Amino acid sequence: MGANQCLSNPGYSFGNQQAAALIADFTKMSAYGSRGHAWTTSDLSWDGIEIVDVTSEQIKGLAWDSPQQHEVEFLVDVETGKHIGGSSPERYVGAKC
């Protein structure tokens, strides 16, 4: 996918806002609704995000794990922007090589 991805679906809501748009760059995602900015994730990836699926509850995607040289899965809660999975430099801080 390109540097930026934008998904718009008036049927979804992010942070209890209707008429939502989801914007992703290489490392993070942001959601916007009828009242403006709903949330921005913390870093999900070192360098690249692929959105695989969006439901009314979660966003499923793949993120690039640079130290391991492969993609890893992440899930983002559409209401809060909180996520599990993914990979970023912050996750490796303090890790022993």
Per-residue pLDDT tens over the stretch 1-46: 344 555 555 455 666 666 578 899 999 999 988 888 999 999 999 9
pLDDT (tens digit per residue) in 39-67: 999 999 999 999 999 888 999 999 999 99
Give residue 72's pLDDT band: very low, low, confident or very high (50, 70, 90).
Answer: very high
16: CB partners within 8 A, 6+ apart: 33, 79
In this prediction the pTM is 0.78
Q: Are 22 and 54 in contact (CB under 8 A)?
A: yes
